[in-house]
Structure 1
């Protein structure tokens, strides 16, 4: 039975994960249904739909993996860890492509390469999403096979009389899964960071131009810049709050039975629970669907 303090953070983690699952389910259902009906979506909505689906499975795998590990033997923990890393990789790549797409479409830079990207980014998005999934799948298959063979070798080979399956999976988690996760996330993060900073510089440049021509901050193009920068800058902060606990748990591993483990989980997944709400509010299509759903609920 967990202590009252651990139980408190377990409940907080479960509540914020439930909120995130519901939000991402809403995004996935609204945009996924239109995707199936029309056989296509605008590139931005295509990324949002893919991101909602990947985050839905990410949070489901996190909840199942954490509670399964706490309450039951860790004999299947390898499968949860593998699926969690896969969904995490895919989600982070999709978030990066969303930032890149907004940066290219909204920024007002006039460099030839940037203008070339602005005209072609919409064609690239389906391929970028597909290749993100394929590359993540290839990496995770290799990782799973390596980890599975390592576990089988240690278990069947009687590596040590004091070695338990918990020790093996814990060692894999500390020395393989988490470092791998951080390495993989470090690849798209510079693109995400650069896109966010570029949008901020573009906004500043655009504001100066608008002031020169006598336009104010209420100009529609300025509002689009501001709204997008707010969303990406918020998620940049939330990404840091996600990566920092991962770094800490890599340097100083924390057991699932520790109070600090559940504190880090609450901090890490708060961003994934908060950010979908901003995506919904910043999308006119999702806002209309939300208003319609609430209106139908009140009418019923």
Structure 2
């Protein structure tokens, strides 16, 4: 029999699971359908579609993990089930985060304007740079997943020590080492966060420089370049906010072993994680003209949607 708190969290996760699949499925269907019809796709649309697809995989993994926590908590951290969930969750999570970083870099290189030779060299090769980042992200995600092998070895040694008599102190040390490895595993996410922060601040500097030029030549502040800067910054800033929320959820999940109410802490972490996968995907829809127009047109209360006045990296 489920308690009141477990029932509330189960309803929340089911709701977020359904919304997440609908929102990300919408992105995949619209961009995938356009790709199928035109036989081509822009790099930004490819990244967004891949992001939505991997988020669907991640939603299913998290939902299955949540069901195990709610209905069979005593078996959650044992056996092959725990290892399979950890492997798939780690890979899809890291690759999702790096896809966001790749999108941030792409927007930065396409929109920001600097005269430094290094930046110009990257800007002229923006597509190649981002494609290279995608391959690097795939490799990095595999390395992060491979690092779980050490955790599994520690857990295996811990299981054997707990089954043996007179191994209390050794078991305690191994348990502390295993829990610490789980917490430190979050440090793998710092490089992708750093890349997104750099892209955001470069756009901020570029916008400030662009505004000074507009004031110098007495040009209005709502020109196309300024609006593109602002929209890119809103997207990346939203990514960063939701990423910090996502990072917080992983800290809660990893640190739950040190908290008195372990089961509740894990359920809170799952709910926060799934809310990130829903909210961040909604931002992708409303910051992309093609997805936004289609989405608004599907709403029953849709009363006409004005066409965008300008094209840019978000209009595809």
Other-structure match for 1:280: 285
Q: Secondary structure at 1:188's aligned position in 2?
A: helix
Structure 1 residues 172 and 29, CA gap change in structure 2 (3 angstroms): farther
21-30 or 131-140: bigger deviation? 131-140
Q: Which of the residues 104, 108, 113 maps onto 1:108?
A: 113
Q: Secondary structure at 1:17's aligned position in 2?
A: helix
Q: Which of the residues 295, 308, 314 maps onto 1:290?
A: 295
Distance in 2, matches of 1:19 and 1:144, equals: 30
Other-structure match for 1:135: 140
Other-structure match for 1:20: 20
Contact 2:154–2:178, Cα closer than 8 Å, also in 1: no
Deviation readout 1:65-110 (Å, 9 max, x if unpaired): 1212331333412211211111110001101111111111111222
User: Is 1:71–2:71 an aligned residue pair?
Assistant: yes
Taking the TM superposition and a 5 Å limit, the aligned residue runs for 1:44-59 are 44-59=44-59
Query: Cα RMSD (Å) of the superposition?
Result: 3.1
Task: Please report how far the alpha carbon of residue 114 of structure 1 lies from its aligned counterpart in structure 2 after TM superposition.
Answer: 1.0
Distance in 2, matches of 1:127 and 1:98, equals: 12
Distance in 2, matches of 1:82 and 1:11, equals: 26
Instruction: Show structure 1 runs of 5+ residues with no match.
Output: none
Deviation readout 1:218-272 (Å, 9 max, x if unpaired): 2222111111111211221221122234335545534886333323333343232
Other-structure match for 1:244: 248
Structure 1 residues 34 and 124, CA gap change in structure 2 (3 angstroms): farther
Q: TM-score, normalised by structure 2?
A: 0.79
Paired residues, number? 290
User: Is 1:123–2:128 an aligned residue pair?
Assistant: yes
Taking the TM superposition and a 5 Å limit, the aligned residue runs for 1:182-261 are 182-251=186-255, 253=257, 254=259, 258-261=263-266
Distance in 2, matches of 1:213 and 1:257, equals: 61
Deviation readout 1:167-214 (Å, 9 max, x if unpaired): 9xx87873334422x121012111111111211222222222222222
Distance in 2, matches of 1:7 and 1:172, equals: 33
Q: TM-score, normalised by structure 1?
A: 0.83
Contact 1:81–1:177, Cα closer than 8 Å, also in 2: no
Task: Please report how far the alpha carbon of residue 284 of structure 1 lies from its aligned counterpart in structure 2 after TM superposition.
Answer: 1.9
